[in-house]
Amino acid sequence: MFKQLKALIAFLTIIPIKGEYDLKTTAEGIHLFPLIGALIGFITGIIAFLISNIYPGLITGIIATSVLELITGLHHFDALLDFGDGIMAKTTPERKIEIMHDKQTGAGGFWLGLTVIGIKIFSIAQLNGLQLFTAIILSEISSKLSMVIGTWLGNPAYPTSTAVPFIEIAHKNLRKPIIALVISLLITILFTFKGIAIIITGILTAVIIEWIAQKHFRGVTGDVLGSMDEITSALALLLAVKVL
């Protein structure tokens, strides 16, 4: 388990971890995704909490959102931009996947990225104190759970996708998605029962985006999973403004 956690930290964040880990080892720890979300949320939550005691909400929102993106190396945000370009292209699924791999960002990706980042910033700006700290942690747990649910629900869009090992593990061992869900709920309940709504948001977002991915790409890709993370995080923070 410890090796899997280290592999996941190295894969999902820019936190320096000694050792090299292959994708298969990382995928074996898919059930621990929510724990990495909790770690990312804890680090960002502390920073946001401290900043909120010094600066106005909007500045806190900008800095906290930047920290969230930087901790993950902007990988999921990059995936979100690619996803936006892919779903907006009026062409075949094969060509849509090629467009997602293009290094250029089109109008679809720009619009989706701006919308998601905007929701995060302005949602965080409306939160303060323990509410702010809790919201960021739970939103990150929910966003990581959404990726686990996405791998369980989906099939690979193409055989060389980085999503393939994760999808195979989730399909072979149903206990892993269940464990991820249990971990998410247990941590959430430690904070507040109201947070269960945030976890449900992650599950519903995964279902909807997986449906969109099937329609546009005939399956799930790494960019699709990264988009689930980003969109869930934004929607969870938006919901937290009302429920926490």
Residues 54-92 have pLDDT tens digits of 999 999 999 999 999 999 999 999 999 999 999 998 999
pLDDT, residue 142, reads 98
pLDDT band at 170 (very low <50, low <70, confident <90, very high): very high
Task: Locate the domains of the chain by residue range.
Answer: 30-243
By CB atoms closer than 10 A (0-12, 13-18, 19+), residue 91 is exposed
CB 182 within 8 A of CB 243: no
* CA-closest candidate to residue 101, choices 161, 151, 153: 161
Does pTM surpass 0.85? yes
Nearest to 27 by CA among 180, 129, 192, 242: 180
As a residue count, the chain comes to: 244
Please give the pLDDT value at position 194: 95
Tens digits of residue pLDDT in 106-142: 899 999 999 999 999 999 999 999 999 999 999 999 9
